[in-house]
Chains A and B, each alone.
Chain A
Amino acid sequence: MSLDASLPLPPVGGTPTSLAAPGAQARRCETTGLSVCLAAQQFIKLNAVSAVVFLLLGGIAAILLALTRWQAVHLLPVDWFYRILTFHGLNMLIFWILFFEVAVLYFACTVPLKSRLFSRKIAWASFAMMLSGAVMVDYIILRGQADVLMTSYLPLLAHPLFYLGIILVAVGTLTGVFNFFATLYIAKRDRTYEGSVPLVTFGATAAAIIAVVTLLHGAIVMIPTFTYSMGWTGQPDPMWYRMIWWGLGHQSQQVNVCAMVAIWYLIAHLATGAKPVNETVCRGAFVLYILFINLASAHHLLVDPGVGSAWKIWNTSYAMYLAVLASMIHGFTVPASVEMAMREKGYVKGLFGWVMSAPWRNPAFAGFVLSLVIFGFIGGITGVTLGTQQINIIAHNTLRITGHFHATVVGGTSLAFMAVTYYVIPLIFRRDFIWRSAARMQPWLFGIGILLVSLGMSFAGSLGAPRRDYDIDSSGAFGPAAHLFLGVMGVGAILAVIGLFLFVLLCVGTILFGPKTDGRAMADWGTAKALANAQPEAIAEDHWAMKGTIALTFVFLASFAVYYFANWKALADVWPVR
């Protein structure tokens, strides 16, 4: 764990790789005692601030969309609805998340490994490409020259700058990922640490590996589409486009899952002192993501022509659902690690005494738990079920799909990213949060809001309401129940967006006006304290001590099975088709 004097000397004339070496451009964190690379800190700040700006843009778009689909309000005119929908998808799913993930990667390869960032120049190049690409895309969308939605399915065609902007964002992100791998390499080469990398770095590495594969799919599909939009080459086949585009679109969600799970482990540790019950299991689950997620593009082609049943069945199940297995493993190990930490601290009463005593006033902890629950119970269960080959017939392109991914990407990933920000700003920007009572409420507001959005969409979709549709009234096919659920979605969106604006306000206000922490530890959000009668040794060795987690995961499995088979029943009720 600790550094010793046997570390190799820094290369002559250069900055030493190890942050502990003399002459390292690093500072010592007053809260954690860890060394922080100043270059990494600078780019974590830049990328995180950009991420929050794009989150704000996407959030403004979100409320406009929700208040349009809520038929009783129906705010936007039709052309602006699809324009803002395009804008919302790209800013939220691509820009907010990618910028934040680059910040996470720069943290994970430097601080835990006690290494400097490989290159400032490369980090600048990555940032410049990503930012100019994102601005280009947003500009051309708002000009009304790219009303093609996020997926830009051919033969729909946008202005060439739209594709060029996406290519720039993708290449910029790949450049940042390269900086991450190069840092891992120099850290290993110059022995800044001994042994295996920490779990958070391991999870981030899994995310980075999947990101490379994902972004290569992006390049394969976007470059010929760009040359086509310039009139240089012919039109790519629309089915080919769908298959490769979703190699970008779905796999990138697994990057999000890896980053999110790594953050779960991080917050669990920071707030309760949790450590993995079994490192092998946690790491093995990340490896399963890397190995078995690359087939996920099939989820979007389950009712498409041109790909057959065998292909669809094999690829939708990620080869026997081994990536789902990975998520189910994390779904156990993450709460189990928290429960074990709490029990070791002496909170041993009953099944759920540790839950009651958990540091709920800590917004990072509350956000992490909400993220875990919304991702697992809503996002995970609906995702696997809707992605079942035949069940997709009663779900494809309905609001059920949107309901699913607002639980995974927003309730899961975005909320986890928000939660970790309650540590990132005090530890990296070195300012304590302003308006701490509002910060404690923020994850609840956002989490409950997005839960309502997700449920409203899912139920409206079960009644057949299409996604990406301006007006469901004119068909006459949808009754009052569908309208009611769109209203639930609208109310949820208002709550969630208030939570989002509050988050942005807290972040910006803190970065500008928050009290500086120079020379002292950050103000504690609330961490679990050990009780006097704690008996950690007895519990640490007991492999059945996580009784509450066992109960919760059994409830999860039962809910999963009920929802899954209820959907087979619903499918059996529609017309026979093959």
Chain B
Amino acid sequence: MSLAIPERGWFKAPAGAEKLWIGLALLWCLVMSVMMPFWHFRGKQNSRGEAYAVQPAAFQARVEQFAAANKVGELAGVPIVEPAPGGDAYLLARMWSWYPVLKLRQGETYRLHLSALDLQHGFSLQPLNMNFQVLPGYDHVLTLTPTSKGEFTIVCNEFCGIGHDKMFGKILVE
């Protein structure tokens, strides 16, 4: 019984069905362990955590410069910015908006720089449901290839104060 001192000689190797189960469970654990490195090399969706130290003010200046140089329109007062295919795109998270609106082309690859001005924020691209963490002081770089067209909403999914649930952004893909 589990409340009593075990009898002497309790140290025994597993046998029978118990042994089989331990073997199967270990095998399954190994399959799951191998899946991640496999996907890292062969899969297309990975989170490498590529990041560079950046002061929030310096990042904001880069975003402003990027927006001014590549602005192609406006959506509800926010500039729509179209980066060059294969080039760098910037997205700034702050309480409580994503800036600017990005216009991307299907099938092209972009280096998307994410950082925050104030608190931690969550980049959640809907309805695709792709999620990445955004931190102040970290320039988080995603090498991203949009493969579907349409209007996508960025929802903030890291709590960032009272206006958190009203913090949205847009990515347009043509």
A10 to B8 Cα, complex, angstroms: 26
CB atoms of A393 and B14 under 8 A apart: no
Neighbouring A residues of B143 by C-beta, 8 Å: 577-578
Kindly supply a per-residue 1/0 record for chain A positions 264-280, scoring 1 wherever the CB is within 8 Å of any chain B CB and 0 otherwise.
Answer: 01101100011111111
Q: Of all chain A residues, which has the CB nearest B43? A: A390
B47 and A575 contacting across the interface, CB-CB below 8 Å: no
Contact A397 B131, CB 8 Å, known A239-B138, A305-B138, A313-B40: yes
Among the stretches B59-67, B71-79, B80-88, B151-159, the one at the interface with A is: B151-159
Interface stretch (choices A161-169, A486-494, A556-564)? A556-564
Contacts of A154 in B (CB 8 A): 120
0/1 interface trace, chain B 145-174, chain A, CB 8 Å (1 if under): 111100001011111111011101000000
Interface presence of A537 (CB below 8 A): no
Instruction: Let me know if A312 is at the binding interface, CB within 8 A.
Output: yes
B126–A478 touching, CB < 8 Å: yes
Q: How far is the CB of B128 from chain A (nearest CB, A)?
A: 5
Given contacts A198-B5, A278-B18, contact A321 B127 (CB under 8 A): no
Are A393 and B135 in contact, with the CB atoms below 8 A? no
B165 near A560 with CB under 8 A, answer no
- In the complex, what residue of chain A is closest to B118 when comparing beta carbons? A155
Contact yes or no, A280 B37, CB < 8 A = no
User: B165 near A472 (CB under 8 angstroms)?
Assistant: yes
Q: What is the predominant secondary structure among interface residues of chain A facing chain B?
A: loop
Evaluate contact between B138 and A394: CB separation under 8 angstroms.
no
How far is it, in angstroms, between the C-alpha of A398 and the C-alpha of B45 when the chains are bound? 18
- A392 CB-CB contact with B under 8 Å: yes
Q: Which residues of A contact B17 (CB under 8 A)?
A: 336, 543-544, 546, 549-550
Are the C-beta atoms of B145 and A306 separated by less than 8 Å?
no
Q: Does A576 contact B (CB under 8 A)?
A: yes
List which B19-65 residues lie within 8 A (CB) of chain A. 19, 21-22, 24-26, 28-30, 32-33, 35-37, 39-40, 43-51
Chain B proximity of A218: nearest CB distance (Å): 20
Interface status of A389 (Cβ within 8 A of chain B)? yes
Q: Assess A278 versus B26: contact at CB under 8 Å? Given A198-B4, A199-B6.
A: no
Say yes or no: B28 contacts A398, CB within 8 Å.
no
Which residues of B112-147 are within 8 A (CB) of A? Answer: 114, 118-120, 122, 124, 126-147
In the bound complex, how far is the Cα of B138 from the Cα of A466, in angstroms?
23
The stretch of A38-46, A326-334, A350-358, A442-450 that contacts the partner chain: A326-334
Contact B138 A280 (CB under 8 A): no
| Structural contact, A277 and B11, CB atoms closer than 8 A | no
Q: Using CB atoms, name the residue of chain B closest to A476.
A: B153
A538 within 8 A of B: no
Question: A466 near B13 (CB under 8 angstroms)?
Answer: no
CB pair B5 A313 closer than 8 Å: no
Contact A384–B131 (Cβ < 8 Å)? no
Query: Cβ of A313 and Cβ of B37 under 8 Å apart?
Result: yes
Q: Does A257 contact B (CB under 8 A)?
A: no
For A196, give its contact among B5, B133, B137 (CB under 8 Å).
B5
Chain A interface size, under 10 / 10 to 19 / 20 to 34 / 35 or more: 35 or more
For B124, what are the chain A residues with a Cβ–Cβ distance below 8 Å? 397-398, 464, 466
In the assembled complex, the Cα of A463 lies from the Cα of B22 at a distance in Å of 35
Residues of A contacting B22 in the complex (Cβ-Cβ under 8 angstroms)? 281, 325, 329, 332
State whether A390 touches B129 (Cβ < 8 A). no
B29–A279 touching, CB < 8 Å: no
Q: Given that A239-B138, A269-B3 are contacting pairs, would A474 and B33 also be in contact in the complex, using a CB cutoff of 8 Å?
A: no
For the complex, what is the distance from the CA of A137 to the CA of B124, rounded to whole Å?
A: 31
Q: Which of B39, B40, B51, B118 contacts A568 (CB 8 A)?
A: B39
For residue A217, CB closer than 8 A to chain B, the reply is no
Shortest beta-carbon distance from A134 to chain B in Å? 22
The residue in chain A whose Cβ has the minimal distance to the Cβ of B160 is A156
A237 within 8 A of B: yes
Kindly state whether residue A105 has any CB partner on chain B within 8 Å.
Answer: no
Decide: B2 and A265 in contact? CB cutoff 8 A: yes
Q: Are B33 and A321 in contact (CB under 8 A)?
A: yes
Closest chain B CB from A324 CB (angstroms): 6
A:250-303 near B, CB below 8 Å: 265-266, 268-269, 273-281, 301-303
Is B159's CB under 8 angstroms from A576's CB? no
Q: Nearest residue in A to B143 (C-beta to C-beta)?
A: A578
A108 and B155 CA atoms in complex are apart in Å by: 47
Nearest-neighbor residue (CB-CB) of A306 within chain B: B51
Instruction: Evaluate contact between A475 and B25: CB separation under 8 angstroms.
Output: no
Contact pick for B157, options A153, A156, A469, A470, CB 8 Å: A469
A409: shortest Cβ distance to chain B, in Å?
Answer: 19
What's the minimum C-beta distance from A424 to chain B, rounded to whole angstroms?
14
- Asked if B49 and A304 sit within 8 Å, CB to CB, the answer is yes
**Are B132 and A303 in contact (CB-based, < 8 A)?**
yes
Q: Please tell me if the beta carbons of B4 and A389 are within 8 angstroms of each other in the complex.
A: no
Q: A436 to B140: give the CA distance in the assembly, Å.
A: 57
- Are B44 and A572 interface neighbours, CB within 8 A? yes
A232, B52: Cα distance in complex, Å: 28
- Residues of chain A within 8 A (CB-CB) of B8 are 195
Q: How far is the CA of A194 from the CA of B8 in the complex (A)?
A: 10
Residues of chain B within 8 A of A396, CB atoms compared? 122, 131-133, 157
Instruction: Please report the C-alpha to C-alpha distance between residue A332 and residue B141 in the assembled complex, in whole angstroms.
Output: 44
Q: Are B165 and A325 in contact, CB atoms less than 8 angstroms apart?
A: no
- Is A539 interfacial (CB 8 A cutoff)? no
Question: Do A572 and B50 form a contact, CB below 8 Å, given A237-B137, A321-B33?
Answer: no
Q: Given that A336-B17, A568-B35 are contacting pairs, would A577 and B142 also be in contact in the complex, using a CB cutoff of 8 Å? A: yes
Instruction: Determine the residue in chain A with the shortest Cβ distance to B139.
Output: A305
Confirm or deny: A467 has a beta carbon within 8 angstroms of a beta carbon on chain B. yes
User: In the complex, how many angstroms separate the beta carbon of B134 from the nearest chain A beta carbon?
Assistant: 8
Q: A200-B2, A275-B2, A577-B45 are in contact. Are A561 and B28 (CB under 8 A)?
A: yes
Contact of B47 among A82, A312, A324 (CB under 8 A): A312
A518 interfacial by beta-carbon distance below 8 Å: no
Bound-state Cα–Cα, A42 to B119, Å? 46
> With a CB–CB cut-off of 8 A, which chain A residues contact B10?
196, 279-280
Instruction: Give 8 closest A-B pairs by Cβ, nearest first.
Output: A543-B16, A305-B51, A305-B140, A466-B157, A321-B29, A576-B44, A477-B126, A328-B25
Enumerate 6 A-B pairs (CB-CB under 8 Å) in ascending A order.
A306-B138, A336-B18, A471-B165, A543-B16, A572-B45, A577-B142
